[in-house]
Amino acid sequence: MIRFRMRAAHFALFSTIALAAPASALHFGDARSFSFRARLYTEASIATQDSEPQTVTEIRGGDFLSHRTFFNPELDANLTSPLSFLGLDEVTMRFAIWGFYDGVYDYLPSRWDEARQGLRARFTSGRTTSAPEFPRTDDPIDLRKIYNYQPDPVLGYDGHPGDVAEMPFRINEAYASLTKGRVSMRLGRQTISWGESDTIALLDQSNPFDLTRGIPGLFQDIDEARIPLWTLRSQVRLFNLWGPLSSAFVDAYLVPGSIDTTVSAVPVPAGVSPYSPPETDPQAFADTFSTFVPPEFHFIVDDLLGGIRFTQYDHLPSRTMANSRYGVRLESLIDRDYTASVWFYRTMAQTPVPRFLPLDLRRTAMANPDLPPGSGPAQIITETVHGLTTVFGASLSFYTALLNGMVRVNTQYFLDEPAFIPSTNVPFEALLRQPKMREFLADFGVTKGPIQGFVPRADFLRWEIGHDRFFFNRTLNRSNSFVWVTGLVGSWNLSETFTDKDYRFYGQRKSDDDGLRTGANTADMGGLEDVGKLKTVDKDFVDLKEVEWFVQSSLQTDYLHGRMTPRLTLIVNPRGAIVVNPSVDVRYSDRIVFSLRYVLIEGGFFQYGFYRDRDQISARLTFLFN
């Protein structure tokens, strides 16, 4: 890790020296066909409140939550002239690097590093369902490679935990664009955004987002959180004018699953980061199994099972063509005033869902009488599933004099999205039905049944109705206009409406005065004779309402001839949660920008309210070479 910090420091020093030059892109090559630009920032975030009991690692007002140094150099090339022998109208290339270093485990308050080192559950990843079972073929997750920095998800070798990855940054863009007549093609790593992504990107799911820093769009810039994919994309202009239609084109893309099935790393709980989800170390639940076992039966846990270990296994999508992402979009102007588009795409659901795998007894004396007592341990394995979903969408935007602004309507139907019903995904009673365990506990009421959890599917209708306008208010700003962007964003769980199934929020337990609810009826366990009554308590998990909606609105203007840009964003959920996010950017010069941002979250414990005790203020210094 020291080597990586030195590399980051050398890069930052080089970039700062380079950026001290006059602020313009660096052009070189014949006819200035190559241009280089870069963005480098350093940002510190400080907590403005104390944490609540459900946040495992205590946060105190005034704590440094993050110190992030980010770099993003970009190289563009126009190769039309030197490659004229290809007979193409235009040939361009783009190459960009994305990387950061955060000092969370090195010089920020030591509590997060202590939580990282004190994790008792096993956190791993792999690409097969059987990988976490004995003999293990899964890979332990290195938290430094999630929260200190993030290696490229496809290129290079990450190394073993503690090793520095071969590529401790990401090739963010690397593509060639070719144009001939009506047809253009872009091949390489790139991003695609076909939905709305105002602050919280509920409808923008073609590409994955980094979920390890809380909520994309609040604690991390939405574009910075978007993860690019190796993609073949083509666009064909169909016609310029056909009756009431004009400027029509079709846009299609393919992300071959044999090359790239990248998804976000699953956020690790137990307070290993200031932005960890509010969940405890899952090993704590495994420990509760021994609490209701009478002393005379402790040999079951100690000798026959060799203890109980909890494994959190991130089941990454296998690299096969069956896991390809792809989509087609048709767009046109109607009567020259209405921009309409329809599309279809196949993608990985943004939020992974958990499920129990069968209790793993392969190394225990209970399953193998030839093994000595104490062999083990038994494993409770929770698998997080990144499932495919199919999306059908349509959008319409137009100007209306009645509202003196633009109106945006975007609606999308998500078919068969992986979902969460506690008693289906994580049925605690299934852990006792593993044949060898059930055989031993048959006298205590354990009966036959499913021995693992399953991932239910659900259909969601999601939408955004937005209004954008420019206006002047000479009292507040005598020189420049205001930009006001507002959207009503919603999601309707059609499967819950028409099947009466009780869907919950992706595995998050409810908070109470002491922290979080258990998720199972362990309080009813008086002893081993009650073990057959063990079950999942659905109501211990945060409810996902049939219809969830919120309003997000942003107001922005410029002062001092564009050198100062204040912005205020509000997000309000009628269930009782609110986000207030004011910010200001001050451009000291063409190459130096100071930014100040505050995030305040209040209200109920759901959606973005999971982070209601993570209010923070952030200060950023950005160097631009463009």
pLDDT of residue 197: 64
Is position 69 within any domain? yes
pLDDT value at residue 291: 72
Q: What angle do CA 227, 231, 236 make, to 5 degrees?
A: 125
| Structure confidence by residue, pLDDT tens digits, 329-374 | 999 999 999 999 999 999 999 999 999 999 999 999 999 989 999 9
Burial class (CB in 10 A: 0-12, 13-18, 19+), 337: exposed
Pairwise CA distance, residues 609 & 612, whole Å: 5
- β-strand partners of 491: 462, 548
Whether 375 maps to a domain, the answer reads no
Q: pTM to 2 decimals?
A: 0.91
Report if residue 562 sits inside a domain. Answer: yes
Residue 71: other Cβ atoms inside 10 A: 21
Q: Strand runs (DSSP E) across 48-138, as ranges?
A: 64-78, 90-102, 122-126
Angle at 11 between CA 5 and CA 17, to 5 degrees: 135
Q: pLDDT tens across 451-496, in order? A: 999 999 999 999 999 999 999 999 999 999 999 999 999 999 999 9
Q: Is residue 24 over pLDDT 60?
A: no
Exposed e or buried b per residue across 502-530, where buried means at least 16 C-beta atoms within 10 angstroms of its C-beta: ebbbbbbbbbeeebbbbbbbbeebeebee
Structural domain contains residue 370: no
Has residue 473 been placed in a domain?
A: yes
Supply the pLDDT for residue 626.
76
Pick from 197, 194, 214, 217: which is nearest to 206 by CA?
A: 194
Question: Comparing 72-76, 212-216, 244-248, 291-295, which segment has the lowest mean pLDDT?
Answer: 291-295
**520: in domain:** no
Residue 447 in any domain: the answer is: no
**Structural domain that includes position 604:** 2-281+320-352+387-421+456-503+544-625
The position carrying tokens 């599917």 is 457
CATH number at residue 209: 2.40.160
For 197, the token pair is 């992504």
260-269, 298-307, 396-405, 596-605: least confidently modelled range = 298-307
- The neighbour count for residue 309, using CB atoms within 10 Å, is 18
- Residue 520 β-bridge partners: 536
**DSSP 3-state of 230:** strand
Would 106 be classed as within a structural domain?
yes
pLDDT digits (tens, 9 = 90+) for 522-580: 888 877 888 888 999 999 999 999 999 999 999 999 999 999 999 999 999 999 999 99
**Whole-angstrom Cα distance, residue 280 to residue 269?**
6
Q: Please, what is the average pLDDT of the chain?
A: 91
* Share above pLDDT 90 across residues of the chain, in percent, rounded to a whole number: 79
The mean pLDDT value for 207-215 works out to: 92
pLDDT, greater one: 112 or 215: 112
Angle value at C-alpha 325, between 323 and 330, nearest 5 degrees: 155
Tell me the percentage of the chain whose pLDDT exceeds 70: 94
Helices and strands in the chain: count of H runs, count of E runs: 8, 28
pLDDT attached to residue 9: 42
Distances (CA, A) of 310 to 50, 133, 266, 354, 359: 30, 12, 16, 13, 10
Q: How many domains does the chain have?
A: 1
